[in-house]
Amino acid sequence: MIGRMPTSPTSHSRDEHARNDAAGSHVVDRPQHAEAAELPDAAKHRKTALLGAMFLMATSAIGPGFITQTTVFTVQMGAAFAFAILISILVDIAVQLNVWRVIGVTGMRAQDLANTVLPGLGWFLAFLVFVGGMVFNIGNIAGTGLGLNAMLGVDPTIGGAISAVIAILIFLSKRAGMALDRIVVLLGAVMILLMLYVAVQAAPPVGDALKNTVMPDKVDFLVITTLIGGTVGGYITYAGAHRMIDSGIRGEERVKEITRSSVLGIIVTGVMRVLLFLAILGVVAGGVALTSSNLAAEAFGHAAGEIGVRMFGIVLWAAALTSVVGAAYTSVSFITKADGKVRTRNLLTIGFIAVCAVLFVVLGKAPQQLLVFAGAFNGLILPVGFAVLLFVAWRRRDLMQGYRYPKWLLVIGVLAWLLTLYLGWNSLAGLGKLWS
């Protein structure tokens, strides 16, 4: 590290946090006496870092695929979709509780843990996540096109290309991470408030939805797999946890904060899913037949008029753009070292976004098909990386710094893993239906 003039503890912490936010770089552990001297500022830094990590995970999940999947499946299944939402939320919580705790206590990225357990396994996991992240990011870029189309009437392909350029410009900024933290928190609040407004306007049959939550008229395992894959599958599984340890939040002493943040992140996605489901259900239950190529925008239009369509376009575009950035950041974190050069990491991230944009333009698939496919694909690769983390929690106390992992947490983790394994197998059999 290049030497610099001594600074006060507070300014040093602030400068280091700014540099870390700009590139998502690794922050080394500080000596205890330094941490004690910086306690007030360090506590504020931890809260900001955890909030950023939590919303990075949440907004990565609440992207265009999330909105499109929820709309499509609500139209297909009606009130019965409520059961799929409940199961996916429970599985998501079980998964992220384990992912955040293992990565947080060890202070190691998922691929590094995998390579320590079995040399080469980490690179295999990195390949799966990187490819899955690329597929998902093609869908994210498609979502930005849908957003601009709803907002300004721009052609989805042109809108996606323009948005990819904007995402690249974000990574050219020295404070991209800091800006991202603020944007995701703001957009998360805006999306929830918008969904609440539209849900109230749509007047959904809440009683029927509650009944189907526990007594569904029908169950579709492919739908559940797709929801799980779209919320905690692929790169999304590690987005928040990697961001957390890159911000210096790690160790057994941070377990309570880590646990709270992981659960709150899933609750944010769950609230968003439920509100969007109720909004679309209200429109469909009212007898409206959604037939356009952008079902969600059409539903918002029926529920809240022309202003609803424009507001939907703004939020979808912003959410998709944030997801593009989050997918690129997390995917590249799997093929780079935590202590690597920031410039190299940023260039790789820019290249990642550019390749995804080109693939989106070349493929020319209908955006909604592509987004749903991305969720199903990520649902298939979820069992691999999650199995590694569960093994570390079970057998590698040396990597867990001697931390005694709660048996109840390991049990629900294994149950969730078995479910994702089973659902992943089912998605193999039904994946081809998405292209028919």
**What DSSP letter does each residue of 208-276 carry, written as one string?**
HHHHHHHS-S---HHHHHHHHHHHHSTTHHHHHHHHHHHTT--SGGGHHHHHHHHHHHHHHHHHHHHHH
Judged against a pLDDT cut of 60, whether residue 28 lies above it is answered with: no
**Can you give the pLDDT at residue 135?**
79
pLDDT in the model for residue 436: 54
CA-to-CA distance for 107 and 405, rounded, in angstroms? 15
Per residue in 247-267, pLDDT (tens digit) is 788 888 889 999 999 999 999
- The tally of CA atoms less than 13 A away on the side-chain side of residue 367 is 29
Q: How confident is the model at residue 26 (pLDDT cuts 50, 70, 90)?
A: very low
Angle at which helices 121-152 and 295-333 cross, to 10°: 150
Question: What pLDDT shows up at residue 206?
Answer: 92
Residue 362 DSSP class: H
Note the helical H segments in 62-109: 64-77, 81-106
On whether the CB atoms of residues 403 and 252 are closer than 8 A, the answer is yes
Report helix, strand or coil for 38.
coil
At 354 the pLDDT is 95
287: helix, strand or coil: coil
Q: Which tokens belong to 107?
A: 């202070």
> Which of 28-37, 66-75, 356-365, 402-411 is most confident?
402-411
Block residue for tokens 């980490």:
122
The mean pLDDT value of the chain amounts to: 81
Residue 39: its pLDDT value, please?
Answer: 59
pTM: 0.82
CA angle 92–96–101, rounded 5-degree value: 160
Distance CA 372, CA 223 (A): 10
Q: What is the share, in percent, of the chain residues with pLDDT greater than 90?
A: 31
Q: Give residue 431's pLDDT.
A: 57
Structure confidence at residue 27 (pLDDT): 42
Structure tokens, 170:
């974000």
Provide mean pLDDT across the span 171-180: 71
With 80 as the cut, is the pLDDT of residue 423 above it? no
Q: In this structure, which amino acid lies at residue 176?
A: A
- For 294, half-sphere exposure in the C-beta direction (CA atoms, 13 angstrom radius) is 24
Mean pLDDT of 87-109: 93
User: Tens digits of per-residue pLDDT, 8-17?
Assistant: 444 444 444 4
> Taking phi first (over 0 means left), then psi (-120 to 50 degrees means alpha), and beta for anything else, what does residue 233 get?
beta
pLDDT band at 410 (very low <50, low <70, confident <90, very high): very high
Distance CA 406, CA 106 (A): 15
Rounded mean pLDDT, 111-115: 92
How much is the pLDDT for 130?
A: 86
Contact at 8 Å (CB) between 83 and 213? yes
pLDDT of 29 over the 60 cut: no
- More confident: 369 or 287: 287
Whole-angstrom distance, CA of residue 51 vs CA of residue 182? 10
Cα 228 from Cα 89, distance rounded (Å): 8
- Residues 420/383, Cβ–Cβ less than 8 Å: yes
If we measure between CA atoms, which residue out of 65, 191, 196, 69 comes closest to residue 132?
65
pLDDT of 23 strictly over 90: no
The residue with greater pLDDT, 180 or 137, is: 137
Closest CA to 434 of 379, 354, 361: 379
As a whole number of angstroms, the distance between CA 421 and CA 383 comes to: 6
Percentage with pLDDT > 70 across the chain: 82
Beta carbons within 10 angstroms of residue 404's beta carbon? 8
pLDDT at residue number 259: 92
Is residue 227 within 8 A of residue 375, CB to CB? The reply is: yes
Which residues neighbour 142 within 8 Å (Cβ) at sequence distance 6 or greater? 64, 156, 160, 360, 365, 367, 370, 371
End-to-end CA distance of the chain: 56
C-beta neighbour count of 153 within 10 angstroms: 9
pLDDT at 433: 60
Buried b or exposed e, range 165-181, using 16+ CB within 10 angstroms: eebbebbeeeebbbebb
Encode pLDDT of 39-68 as tens digits: 566 677 677 778 888 888 888 888 877 887
Average pLDDT over residues 287-301: 82
374: pLDDT strictly greater than 70:
no
* Cα torsion through 117, 21, 228, 364, rounded to 10: -110
pLDDT score at 355: 93
For residue 89, the model assigns a pLDDT of 92
